Structure formats: C-alpha cells, structure tokens
Structure 1
Amino acid sequence: MMAGLLLARQGVEVVVLEKHADFLRDFRGDTVHPSTLELIAELGWIEEFLRLPHTKMPEVTVNMGGKDVTFADFSRLKVRCPYIAFMPQWDVLDFLAGKAAAYPSFRLLRRTEATELITEGGRVAGVITDGGVEVRADLVIGADGRHSTVRARAGLAPASDSPPMDVLWFRLPRRAEDRVPFFQGGKGALISIDRGDYWQLAYAIPADAFAELKAAGLPALQERVASLAPALRDRVRQLDDWDAVHHLTVRVDRLRQWHRPGLLCIGDAAHAMSPAGGVGINLAVQDAVATANLLGPVLARGDVPAEADLVRVQSRRERATRVTQAFQLGILRDLYPKNLGDDTTQHVPPIFTAFRALPPLRHLMGRFIGMGARPEHIAA
C-alpha cells in the first residue's frame, strides 16, 4: 500500500491487489515506529494520522526476575514523534488507502488475488488473478507476505535461519485498573498490547513447542498466562477454546535475490522477520520508500525498469535487512526460553544484565528499534 501510494504520488499508474474485501485481520503487527511516523510527517499527514485511536509507548520496559529494565528509550530521537504508536493495522491501511485514492493514477482492487505470473520473453509482464483477469504491468511488486505467492511463482527461493520462538495470539477483556507489563518473562514470554477494551496478547514459546503445550491442555496455558500477568488471573478461564488461540509459526528467511526481470519482492516477501522488536512492518515500509524513490522516476518517464534498477533497490535495503535479522536472532534470542520448562525469572539473560548495568544502552537500542539500520525519507 505504501509503495503504491508513493508511486501514484509521482504520477505512476498503479494497481494494488488486495485479496480480501477489507483490512480487518486481527493478530498482526500493530506497531508504528518513529521511522514510519516520521515518513507520514514528511508527507504532511501526521496530525490527521494521530487522530486515529492509538496508544503511545515512549520506551520499552522488560520485566524479568521481578525487576523492570528499560530496554529501549525513544525520547532522544530527533523526530517529530519519539515513540511507538500502537494502532490497529487495519486503521493504518485504511488511512493509506484513503490518501492513495486521491491520486487519479491509483487503483485498489479488493477481493482480488494474484495467483499466477504472466511471463513473456523471460520477463514478468503482469499477473493473473484468481478471477482469471490479466493485470499487465511494467513492474510487478511482490509485497504479499512471508507466504508470498508471487515469490513462489517466480521461483525465488529464500535462505532460512532458525527462529527462536513461535507465538500464540489471543485476547482477553481489559479493565481500566489493569496493570500489565508490556513484556513479561518467565515460563514463556507475554507481550501485552492495550487495545482499549481488550488486551491483545502474544505468548512466545520455544519454536516447535506448540504441540507439547496443546497436549498439556488449556488449563496449563491459562496458568502460564496468569503467572505472567496476575492482573488477568480472573479472566484467563475465558480462554476456553483452542480456536481462540492463533498459532503463528515464526520464520526468518531472506531471498538471495529479490528480483527477476519485471519483478521485485519487498517486505516479508523478500525477508520474513521475527516479531521480536516489532520491526517487520516498519522495515517493509522502508523497503517501499526506497522502491518508490529509486524506481518511481524510471516508471514516471514511461520506461521499464532494467535489471540494474532492481539491483539498486536490493543493494540499498539488503544490509539493513541482514543487520536486523542478526539482531533478532542473536541479541533478542536470550529473552525467550529455549524449552517449555525453562523459567527466565530463574536465569536472567546476559543482555538483560547489560542493560541494567549500562543505562545509556537504552538510547542506542531506542535508535536501532525506532529508526532501523537505514531509515529512508520521502523523495521531494
């Protein structure tokens, strides 16, 4: 959506395909980081954007072993919004779609999914939709997520790394007097997002441990959640059906080559991220901005992007992707238990000890999480 908006802003004819009728999908990234907020400010829309319902997090505090440590502090960032905004992703997408609709060269086709690629003379020339409609294009941008159909049809194979966790998403009612830490470590790790009248909860477990947890039964999961968030103990029994628990199998991978003639993959289609740090959607937005900045002028002239143009996008964004994935798989790995029986309150990870001993690290981490390894800016 961001890539389509920015290209249409340059006068490029754009068609964005959305396979659903709307954007109302729960249990996905809701963090709008300072880097993305700054981009919206550069577009002149930040006041309007912040009128949407959201909560602000100026710092990330982690509780382990009964002690709080500030893991990332955004207060020193030289941006207009030095905080993470928690906003439902459907609101973000509706906002961007509304802004994009103001450009006459932009079209959004809902209930339309790309299922096949059109290839002519060794070059991708468009897509075929699930309704059998051909959509021809000088450039196809695959931004269809970690299970990308476009990527698969193009024969682009990712290299995978071993992620440290899986995530169970669910929700419980919220009360005004609730005091629940954003991140609580123990037997598993619980991330709590305030959605006003309910908590959106992410329970992180060791990779491939879901079957073992499910075999232990819902009461075992209820007790684990209650031990991490005692304020919710009187409500955990409402989690009474596994259908209410959404299992996200975390994968971390990266394409060796993000493109082939006529096609470019960005976001999770090019590099699936772990949920750790909430950086995935914001890294994808940075990809979109770089794509529009580098390829927009080519497309606006009516030219077809050459292979060298696509290489420039990958070259600009690949290092930031590698650094971020190394951060997720390395530095943050110790925040999550390795086995279901592990209790991180009994063994405090070295990184937690380092942040407790060296408070200035919180500002460095705030810059890395908040702005990314290579923040992009809107081209004039």
Structure 2
Amino acid sequence: MATSHDSSGSGPATRTTTCAIAGAGPAGLVLGLLLARAGISVTVLEKHADFLRDFRGDTVHPSTMALLDDLGLFDRFDDLPQSRLSHLQLPDAEGNGVVLVDFRRLPVQHRYIAMVPQWDLLNLLAEAAATEPNFTLLTQHEVTDVVRDKGRVIGVDYRSPDGEGRLLADLTVACDGRWSTVRRAASLPVKETPVGFDVWWYRIDTGRDIGNALLPRAYQNRIAIVIPREGYLQVAQLGLKGANAEIRAQGIEAFRAQAAELLPEVAEEVTSIESMDDVKHLAVRVDRLRRWYGPGVLCIGDAAHAMSPVGGIGINLAIQDAVAAARLLATPLRRGIFGTHGGQRLLAQVQRRRLVPTILLQGLQRLAHAVVIMPVLQDRRSLQVPALVSQVLQRAPWLSAVPAFIVGVGPRSEKIPRWARRPVPPASNVSV
C-alpha cells in the first residue's frame, strides 16, 4: 500500500484502499463491483449525494445486458421501468419507412436496446457492489486533485461534507467523465476531434404509443432523434454548434414551434416543455487520450475517450473498458504490484486492449457526422434513405443486422471473468 508523506495530524483526514475509483458512473461501479468480487479493497468516490440526476445517456445495449447476465443481475435489471428499441428506420424518397438498423436480427439473447433511467441502473450496480465486503462507495466526496509521491500518483484529495480528505491507493482509476478532474490533474496528453453540432435534450409528455423504433426526424436545418418511453418522448434535437445562446434568446414559444415542426404528430403536446430550463444543452465533444495511464493512474470510459452521442454507445464502451481493466488488473492488484512503483506495463495493456474498438467506433461516429448529420444541418441534404440503399435493403434485409451488431455488440466485446460471475437464478425470465 502506498504511504503518504503529507498525512500528518495537521493535514486532511487520510484513508487507504487498494484501488481508488473517481466517479460512480457505469464504468466506475462496474469496475468497483468486479474488483470487489476479486477480493480487492476498492473505494469509489462520487461527488453527488445520489444518482437522481438528469442523465441523457440511458441506453443499455445487448452487449451490456449479456454482462449483466453473467453478473447474475439481469433479472433485477429486467424488472426496472424501461422501454425497448428494436430497430431504427428512416423514410425513403416515397415516404416509406426503411429499416436501417435491426437488432431483432442479431444472434444474441437480448435483441433490443433497453432505455432505462440511468439512476436505476446505477442503483442496481451500487446495491450489488455493496454486498461485497471489500467495496466502499463514498457519496458527496468530490475528487479535487491527485496526490503524488516522487512523480507517481498515490491517491486523490477530496472534498466532503465533513471537510477535506485524502484517499491513498496503490492504483487510482479515473471514471469521472469527459471533464475528468483526475485526467486533468494527471496532465495526460489528449487528441481533440472537431465536432460541428451540439444537442438539446427535452421531453414531450404524451400518452401516445409510437412503437419501439428509434425515429430520426429532420426539418430545415434541424434533426430530432425521438426515443419512445413510457408516457413521454425523449428528444435529442441536433443543431449547429454555437447556436445555444441564440436558441435561448428566442425563448420557449419559438422553441416549441420548432419542436412542433419536427414532430407534427405531437404538436399539441409540445406545451409540456414548460420553459427553456427544461431544454438541456449538451456541448458535443469527441476526444481521446494519447496515453490513458501514468505512474499509478489509469483513465477509462469518457475520461479516456469522450464519445459523440451518435449511436448511444458511450456508456456501453465505458463498461467494456471496465470489464477489460478488471480482468487484466485484478491479479496484479492482489499481489501488490502497483504499490511497489510498478504496473505501468499492465496499464498499457488495458489501453492496447481497448484502443482498437475506441478508434473504430469514434471513426464510425465521425463518418456519420460528415455523411449524414452535418449535410442535413447545413441544409445540403434531406434525411432520407437513398434509393439505391432502399432497394438493396429490400432485397437483402439481413444487411440491417450489420450496423445493429456494430452498435449493439461492438468490436472486441468483453466477457465477465469467471471469478466474478454469479449464476442466473433458475426462474430467470430471459428475453429472446
């Protein structure tokens, strides 16, 4: 275990653990759960008091549901309030719906994307981890900096209702998102990718059933991705980057009118957007660390690679990172390798394992930005399926399984290590 040279009585209160994880998002909680099941002392620090926040990335893909199966958690997950997306379709020039992405054709057990409030998923993971004696979750503990000893990260400083404190650890893992405090404090080099659009999220309350398809819409220079949920529609409205101030200056009436143009079938319900406070702006950012690690520290998930919202793959990619990190690092952590100033080679293995799928998926997102999204937002193309593509899919509809596999399963999907698996109860209500 690392020791501190700044832990005198006059300094902040000091705790110790084997692995400190900054951020109790999906990656942080999955990594914490897995390491705890490996018998490793792990502490997760979360700056908020609970998970009841306004998340937008609520997609759980087939690959993640397969992991929940192996963790013995799928039955509990399946009981959570959720809606299911089975396919994505767009109109062709004649107005006919063309299924471009069809999860129903995948050779997997769960052939859909589950739209689950993220706070429910996080509560499920936290409750499962809390049953492990080696797991500690510290809420209202905001990581403020890393602690160094001779150039090596040996833990983190934090702020809590009880004051400032320090957590010393053999290994510190950043799972605190695209604005990661740990990543910034560790001064890891980053590669930024320009993105020309942002997203404005809002919901429209409606009792109408519009099915289980993801419905993209376009009107003039705007795009809306409509996610059907129980009792309401979750809408992601895409527009050119830099337009947020102008949109807000125009006010709620103008915004409702734009929403009605995009979604004429629920035009009467747009009044459920009560004010511009109900419209959340997401500044879309795509980047990737050139090196995900340093002495004593590792970044995974959005802390290592901020993803575009296209495809909703960020959460699932982050969870895959966590599974790979746990599999590669559990044994070295048990042996104390990181506490003896070693382990950088092992951290590099995590990056090598997860770099290829990250590059491929970010590349596909960038392609979607350039070929589909930006031409529509710049009013150079309509959001329609080209005639040739429509004809090909009519003759070979199985091709819609290819993008479904890329989005729903992804390249180099990870498996839960055997030592972390739990049997599924006999009464499990599996989905097909």
- Class of the TM-score when normalised by the shorter of the 2 chains: over 0.9
* Distance of 1:184 and 1:74 partners within structure 2: 17
1:58-113, Cα deviation, whole Å (9 max, x unpaired): 22223466442212112233322121111011010000001101110000000001
1:126 aligns with 2:164: no
1:276 equivalent in alignment to 2:310: yes
Q: Which amino acid aligns with 1:118?
A: V
* 1:225 match: secondary structure: helix
Select the residue among 36, 43, 59 that pairs with 1:31: 59
**TM-score, length of structure 2 as denominator length:** 0.82
1:258 maps to which residue?
A: 292
3-state DSSP of counterpart to 2:329: helix
The one-letter code sitting in structure 1 at the alignment partner of 2:188 is L
Instruction: Rate the CA distance shift 1:179–1:8 in 2: closer, same or farther, 3 A.
Output: closer
What is the letter of the counterpart of residue 403 of structure 2? M
State whether residues 183 and 189 of structure 1, in contact with CA within 8 Å, keep that contact through their aligned partners in structure 2. no
| More off after superposition, 150-159 vs 221-230 | 221-230
Report the Cα offset of residue 51 of structure 1: 1.0
Decide which of 8, 28, 50 is 1:22's aligned counterpart. Answer: 50
Detail structure 1 runs of 4+ shifted over 4 Å in the superposition.
177-181, 337-341
| Aligned twin of 2:133 | 104
1:290 and 1:336, CA in 2 relative to 1: closer, same or farther beyond 3 A? Answer: same
Q: What number of residue pairs does the alignment pair up?
A: 378
Alignment check: 8 A CA contact 1:34 1:82 kept: yes
Q: Is the 8 A contact 2:155 2:166 kept in 1?
A: yes
Q: Relative to 1, partners in 2 of residues 1:155 and 1:356: Cα closer, same or farther, differing over 3 Å?
A: farther
1:168 shift after superposition: 0.3
Conservation of the 8 A alpha-carbon contact between 1:178 and 1:231: no
Residue 389 of structure 2: aligned partner: 354
Residue 51, structure 1, aligned to residue 83, structure 2: no
Where 2:324 maps in the other structure, the secondary structure is helix
Structure 1 residue identity aligned to 2:407: I
> Do 1:164 and 1:336's aligned partners in 2 also have CA atoms closer than 8 Å?
no
Q: SS at 2:106's partner residue? A: coil
Instruction: Name structure 2 gaps, 5 residues minimum.
Output: 1-28, 419-432
Paired residue type of 1:368: I
What RMSD, in angstroms, separates the aligned Cα atoms of the two structures?
A: 2.1
Amino-acid identity (%): 43
Q: Corresponding residue for 1:87? A: 116
Contact 1:64 1:186 in 2 (8 A): no
Which segment is superposed worse, 104-113 or 156-165?
156-165
Give the letter for the 1:107 counterpart.
T
Separation of aligned partners in 2, 1:209 and 1:378: 43
How far the C-alpha of 1:156 sits from its partner, in A, is 1.3
Does residue 141 (structure 1) correspond to residue 173 (structure 2)? The answer is: yes
- The Cα shift of 1:48 comes to 2.1
- Cα displacement (A) at 1:179: 6.4
Alpha-carbon deviations, 1:131-174, whole Å to 9, x = none? 32110111100000011111000111321112242110112212
User: Measured at CA, do residues 43 and 177 of structure 1 come closer, stay the same or move farther in structure 2, by a change above 3 Å?
Assistant: closer
Match of residue 223 from structure 1: 257
Cα distance, 1:288 vs structure 2: 0.3
Cα contact 2:84–2:212 (8 A) shared by 1: no
In the other structure, the counterpart of 2:348 is: 311
Q: Structure 1 379/340 Cα, relative in aligned 2: closer, same or farther at 3 Å?
A: closer
Q: What is the CA distance between 1:41 and its match in structure 2?
A: 0.8
Amino acid at match of 2:280: H
Q: Which amino acid aligns with 1:147?
A: W
Shift of 1:6: 0.6
Q: Of 323, 326, 332, which aligns to 1:292? A: 326
> Is the 2:101–2:400 Cα contact (8 Å) retained in structure 1?
yes
Larger-Rg structure: 2
What amino acid does structure 1 have at the position aligned with 2:399?
L
Q: Is the 2:33–2:129 contact (alpha carbons within 8 Å) kept by the matching residues of 1?
A: yes
- What is the TM-score normalised by the length of structure 1? 0.93
What is the CA–CA distance in structure 2 between the aligned matches of 1:356 and 1:296, rounded to whole Å? 50
Could you tell me how far apart the structure 1 residues matched to 2:356 and 2:212 are? 36
Q: In the alignment, does 2:416 pair up with 1:378?
A: yes
Letter matched to residue 389 of structure 2:
A
Matched, 1:207 2:241: yes
Going from structure 1 to structure 2, the CA distance change for 1:221 and 1:82 (only over 3 Å counts) comes to same
| Aligned equivalents of 2:192, 2:391: Cα separation in 1 | 33
Point out the more displaced range, 135-144 or 239-248.
Answer: 239-248
* Number of the residue aligned with 1:369: 407
Relative to structure 1, the CA distance from residue 285 to residue 269 in structure 2 (aligned partners, 3 Å threshold; closer, same or farther) is same
* Equivalent-residue separation in structure 1 for 2:241 and 2:98 (angstroms): 25
Whether contact under 8 Å (1:63, 1:185) holds in the other structure is: no
Distance in 1, matches of 2:287 and 2:91, equals 29
Q: Which runs of 5+ in 1 are unaligned?
A: none
